[in-house]
Chains A and B, each alone.
Chain A
Amino acid sequence: MTVRSQSSLSEIRLTFIQRVWQLNWGLMLLIIVTACVGLATLYSISGGTTETWVSRQLMRFGVGFFLMLLVAVIDIRFWLRAAFLIYGVALVLLVAVEVVGTVGMGAQRWVDLGPFQLQPSEVMKIALVLALARYFHGITHEEVAQLRWLVVPSLMVIIPVTLVLRQPDLGTALLLLIGAAVMFFLAGVRLWIFGAGLMTALAAIPFAWHYLHDYQRERILTFLNPERDPLGAGYHILQSKIALGSGGMFGKGFLQGTQSHLNFLPEMQTDFIFTMLAEEFGLVGALGLLALYVFMLAYAIAIALRSRSQFGRLLGMGIAGTFFVYFFINIAMVTGLVPVVGVPLPLVSYGGTAMVTILVGFGLIMSVYIHRDVRLPRRAEMEEL
């Protein structure tokens, strides 16, 4: 017993070559294929040129992919130790946005870091998963059942969510909240607590409504009745549905999408990129991309389930959950199932931080896979590392 635990704690030390060998080649292939779909769509949106978006996006993907591999081969014990630190840095960045951020698209979301701009709320998505995984890894199954052990993680969630809401970025705040809920659920928080939380949230709606921005209220009202204002706020949803629907079963063909090319849909390259794809490649293309996502998700879930550590499981599953919420909300949004919230389509939408965030997330999932048999100490044993 002692020997085994000894060996599991200290003896599994993988060499660099071993770790590279352990890299998840299948998942990498899926990621590359998905990114290529995104690049092709951006190529079409820019009217058959690589200059506008494709080259920059390819560069970002390159950087992100390298970061993913780097994150993947770093020992998971490092991530366990650094989790709170990373969370702290992300929190500081969020506060920095509040203080010095650049205003873009009517909201304060960016921090200028010289050569590139950083969207701290994106970083927070990973950081929060890491921090919660670390926290829930550190407490016992019994402790999870007790409310007092949930006070700290709840604060860990509420503080960044509040900061993001103040930017204001309803979409990201919701994503953070949903991601955190998934983590709480997976960690084994009792269902009645979820029930109570849900009731509280419902009760808070009237108050929350009061604090929402006009455009956010408008979006929710428009979602409830899109025909309310076809040229105003409902325009996005309606035009998106027209473009999608007119694509039909097999689509209009690469570079042949009419609605998207004629600017009926603004901001296509970011949140509405799925519309373009579905218009040009039809249902077949849309389901193809969805299948890629489902495969990646299944991969991530399988990796999480195989991990021998709670940290690995929670981290893998948490990132998988965030990934799912990303693509689900984005596609549900462009097809008119949920209100328009600013959520990019993972690996496909144009945008650096989101791309890098997702790839780092997959890097962590790979790290969980590589170090699946590594047993990690709980908080009491932490110092031994």
Chain B
Amino acid sequence: MQRDTVRQKAFTRRALVFSGGAAALTTVLVGRLYYLQVVSADRYRVLADENRISWRLLPPPRGRILDRFGVELANNQRNYRILLIPEQTPDVEQTLVELKDLVRLDEHDHRRVLRDAGRNASFMPVTVLENLSWEQFARINVHMPDLPGVQPDVGESRFYPYRESLAHLVGYVGPVSPKEQTGEPLLELPGFRTGKSGIEKTREKALRGKAGNSQVEVNAYGRAIRELEREDGNPGHDVRLSIDMELQRFAYERLKEDAGSVVVVDVHTGEVLALVSAPSFDPNAFNLGLDVEQWRVLTQHPRTPLVHRAISGQYAPGSTFKMIIALAALEAGVISADHRVFCGGKIEFGDRFFHCWKKGGHGELSLANAIEQSCDIHFYDVARRVGIDRIGKMASRFGLGVPTGIGLEGEEDGLVPTRAWKRKRHDEPWHQGETLVSGIGQGYLLVTPLQLAMMTAQIANGGFRIKPTLVARDPQTSVRQANAGTPLDGVHQASAGPESIGLSAASLSLIHRAMDMVNNSPYGTAYRSRIAEPAMAIAGKTGTVQVRRITKAERQTRLLKNHERPWKDRDHALFVGYAPVSNPRYAVSVVIEHGGGGASAAAPVARDVLEEVQRRDPGRTPMIGELAVDTEEPSDI
């Protein structure tokens, strides 16, 4: 008993020590919990949210590009895709083989899918094929039960319904290049496209819109569990252009066999109604991704389909420049309206001969008749009298030699040579002979088709300075502006309205009369391309530009006809014109590279285009629906 008491006491002592120890350790636990859950709670809360919340970008639908009547020039099409979720596929390799029986899946795609599947988390879908036809897509949908892990999906991709007919103007979109990365997360989104050329590029900001985002709760494997918050962002703005698609397509169809351009502008507003460049390309191909071969064909094609000739092509204006020479001389007073020059087919100046295009010569011609029949001898004489600097000045007043600022990338300056320019550029004095060559629009002179069209428009509208624009203006708004003192419809009054170039009415009306004769007089170079209906009659000027110097030997034997020469050696064919003669509203410039003669190749195209534009009369046809959503001019190009 005694022993047992001793043992009990010892036990009790030890038990209490143990209990004390347990109490102390429990206190440690309490302290630890307090530290974690109260003292550091905020820190762990942040870590917990970082763990579970993932931000996902919602790409905004890209704004459409519309013509002046709301016709879609670029829209977003359903993109039928086939995705593969590796974790739902028993054997990725086997599934791909089965897919091959249904759709074309080349070795390259096959490798890419396997690579992506291996690299990403197994529940992340891998794109197998994109832009499938409805038939292919439907076929795969039918076989879905046999294709575990294959997921049909409908995404969005850019589509250009008019394909080649306005590829240069609208441009195309493509994957974001590393250079474009600005740190904006949207740009890092796989499959995101940005504008690479044309309107798609210059109006990228408006078209792109603002990305929305969605806060997604994810689990430890990154799989989305639910959406916590969603901010929708803004879809891209639609951009409405001044282009009349029907006219554009008409002009393109008329031109597409050749290399060249057609520009149609409203002579009062400067709105560009058609801006065609040929040959062209299908911008949809860029969206789908070009393969090396397609790219090689496009870039190495002798007729350079990627060049936007209407704004980037620089040509000597040839005889279409004669109006500028005439105006320079008339305004400077070096000649009078009844100035006459005898043309014998050639004149000697300095130590060489200057030829007229007409070997036998025109005889004695007035200024107006010289324009009508495009006499070169007459203009050698006029140019010599007025001098290169005054020619240059007049050209500049019509906006030649500088970009028009239409708001497209790649616009060229053109070139209006002066003495100062030559000294600076070539470190050589100006030769009088070069003035003569300039008199027929050759030599150093360079213009873009758009500049030519603007030049013609400013002659046609009575000498008022206008700027080309691709932004649509509603005629009703124009009327309102007219009431407020800015007449845009009908003939300008010199007292009110836009800035005048400062030409006398007499000089201008002489030019108008001469251009009328080009088309409507039987002696006119473009008489065959007239419009007989008086209300729709056109006026214009032909131009034929030598691309290589004609040697003396050739002249002595026989000058080869254009169609006898290789394409590269044929002359460029030009025509500028406006209509209707009675009250000009539309101006056109047509350039056909190596097309032969301006009268034979360019004038018929211009005639048809001017007929079509007058028939459609887009400048007076009210626009349907809302006016352009995005009407701001781009501030920087």
Measured CB to CB, the residues of A under 8 A from B are: 1, 5, 140-141, 182, 185-188, 239, 241-249, 258-259, 261-265, 278, 282-283, 286-287, 290, 294, 297, 301, 304-305, 310, 313-314, 317, 321, 324, 328, 331-332, 335-337
In the assembled complex, the Cα of A169 lies from the Cα of B150 at a distance in Å of 44
In the assembled complex, the Cα of A278 lies from the Cα of B33 at a distance in Å of 9
* Cβ contacts under 8 Å, A5 to chain B: 1
* Cβ contacts under 8 Å, A258 to chain B: 48, 51-52, 217
A332 adjacent to B26 (CB under 8 Å): no
A263 adjacent to B36 (CB under 8 Å): no
A310 adjacent to B7 (CB under 8 Å): yes
Binary interface encoding of chain B residues 266-298 relative to chain A, with 1 for a CB under 8 A from any of its CBs, else 0: 000000000000000000000000000000000
Closest to A5 in B: B1
In the assembled complex, the Cα of A175 lies from the Cα of B479 at a distance in Å of 95
Closest to B13 in A: A188
Q: Given contacts A188-B7, A259-B48, A259-B51, is CB(A246)–CB(B41) below 8 Å?
A: yes
Q: Which of B201-209, B219-227, B314-322, B514-522 contacts A (4 or more CB under 8 A)?
A: B219-227
Interface centre among B3, B7, B17 (most CB of A within 10 A): B7
B55 CB-CB contact with A under 8 Å:
no
* Cβ contacts under 8 Å, A140 to chain B: 3, 7
* Cβ contacts under 8 Å, A328 to chain B: 22, 25-26, 29
B48 adjacent to A242 (CB under 8 Å): yes
A294 adjacent to B37 (CB under 8 Å): no
In the assembled complex, the Cα of A283 lies from the Cα of B45 at a distance in Å of 14
B218 adjacent to A186 (CB under 8 Å): no
B38 adjacent to A249 (CB under 8 Å): yes
Q: Given contacts A188-B10, A331-B29, is CB(A317)–CB(B18) below 8 Å?
A: yes
- How distant is B55 from chain A, measured CB to nearest CB, in Å? 16
Which of B15, B32, B41 has a CB less than 8 Å from the CB of A304?
B15
- How distant is A123 from chain B, measured CB to nearest CB, in Å? 24
Q: Given contacts A1-B1, A245-B37, A246-B41, is CB(A188)–CB(B18) below 8 Å?
A: no
In the assembled complex, the Cα of A259 lies from the Cα of B17 at a distance in Å of 39
B14 adjacent to A249 (CB under 8 Å): no
Which of A264, A310, A324 has a CB less than 8 Å from the CB of B219?
A264
- How distant is B361 from chain A, measured CB to nearest CB, in Å? 92
* Cβ contacts under 8 Å, B26 to chain A: 290, 294, 328
Which of B11, B29, B47, B51 has a CB less than 8 Å from the CB of A310?
B11
Interface centre among B12, B22, B41, B47 (most CB of A within 10 A): B22
Q: List 10 A-B contacts (CB under 8 A).
A: A185-B14, A186-B18, A242-B44, A245-B37, A246-B47, A259-B48, A259-B52, A262-B51, A310-B8, A321-B22
Q: Which of B28-62 contact A (CB under 8 A)?
A: 28-30, 32-34, 36-38, 40-41, 43-45, 47-48, 51-52
Closest to A274 in B: B33
- How distant is A259 from chain B, measured CB to nearest CB, in Å? 5
**Which label, helix, strand, loop or mixed, suits the secondary structure of the A interface?**
helix
Q: Given contacts A244-B44, A258-B52, A335-B29, is CB(A141)–CB(B10) below 8 Å?
A: yes
- How distant is B49 from chain A, measured CB to nearest CB, in Å? 8
Q: A278-B33, A301-B15 are in contact. List 11 more A-B contacts (CB 8 A).
A: A187-B11, A188-B7, A242-B51, A244-B44, A247-B37, A261-B219, A264-B51, A287-B33, A310-B8, A335-B36, A336-B32
In the assembled complex, the Cα of A239 lies from the Cα of B220 at a distance in Å of 10
Q: Given contacts A188-B7, A262-B225, is CB(A286)–CB(B48) below 8 Å?
A: no
B48 adjacent to A246 (CB under 8 Å): yes
Closest to A298 in B: B19
Measured CB to CB, the residues of B under 8 A from A are: 1, 3-4, 6-8, 10-12, 14-15, 17-19, 22, 25-26, 28-30, 32-34, 36-38, 40-41, 43-45, 47-48, 51-52, 217-221, 225
- How distant is B227 from chain A, measured CB to nearest CB, in Å? 14
A305 adjacent to B51 (CB under 8 Å): no
- How distant is A1 from chain B, measured CB to nearest CB, in Å? 7
A263 adjacent to B220 (CB under 8 Å): yes
In the assembled complex, the Cα of A278 lies from the Cα of B225 at a distance in Å of 23
* Cβ contacts under 8 Å, A336 to chain B: 32
B219 adjacent to A262 (CB under 8 Å): yes
- How distant is B452 from chain A, measured CB to nearest CB, in Å? 67
A283 adjacent to B33 (CB under 8 Å): yes
- How distant is A216 from chain B, measured CB to nearest CB, in Å? 23
* Cβ contacts under 8 Å, A247 to chain B: 37, 41
B32 adjacent to A245 (CB under 8 Å): no
* Cβ contacts under 8 Å, B19 to chain A: 301
- How distant is A306 from chain B, measured CB to nearest CB, in Å? 10
* Cβ contacts under 8 Å, A317 to chain B: 11, 15, 18
In the assembled complex, the Cα of A331 lies from the Cα of B26 at a distance in Å of 10
- How distant is B464 from chain A, measured CB to nearest CB, in Å? 69
A241 adjacent to B44 (CB under 8 Å): yes
* Cβ contacts under 8 Å, B44 to chain A: 241-246
In the assembled complex, the Cα of A322 lies from the Cα of B10 at a distance in Å of 20
Q: Which 7 A-B pairs have the closest CB atoms?
A: A245-B44, A246-B48, A262-B219, A283-B37, A248-B41, A263-B220, A246-B45
B22 adjacent to A290 (CB under 8 Å): no
- How distant is B465 from chain A, measured CB to nearest CB, in Å? 67
Closest to A286 in B: B33
* Cβ contacts under 8 Å, B36 to chain A: 241, 244-245, 335
In the assembled complex, the Cα of A297 lies from the Cα of B221 at a distance in Å of 40
In the assembled complex, the Cα of A249 lies from the Cα of B18 at a distance in Å of 31
* Cβ contacts under 8 Å, B218 to chain A: 262
Q: Given contacts A258-B52, A262-B52, A335-B29, is CB(A278)–CB(B15) below 8 Å?
A: no
- How distant is A251 from chain B, measured CB to nearest CB, in Å? 9
* Cβ contacts under 8 Å, A294 to chain B: 26
In the assembled complex, the Cα of A107 lies from the Cα of B8 at a distance in Å of 42
Which of A243, A282, A314, A324 has a CB less than 8 Å from the CB of B48?
A243
* Cβ contacts under 8 Å, A324 to chain B: 22, 25
A186 adjacent to B38 (CB under 8 Å): no
Q: Given contacts A242-B44, A247-B37, is CB(A313)–CB(B11) below 8 Å?
A: yes
In the assembled complex, the Cα of A185 lies from the Cα of B14 at a distance in Å of 7
- How distant is A256 from chain B, measured CB to nearest CB, in Å? 12
In the assembled complex, the Cα of A286 lies from the Cα of B8 at a distance in Å of 36
- How distant is B15 from chain A, measured CB to nearest CB, in Å? 5
Closest to B33 in A: A286
In the assembled complex, the Cα of A335 lies from the Cα of B33 at a distance in Å of 7
* Cβ contacts under 8 Å, A313 to chain B: 8, 11, 15
Interface centre among A187, A264, A314 (most CB of B within 10 A): A264
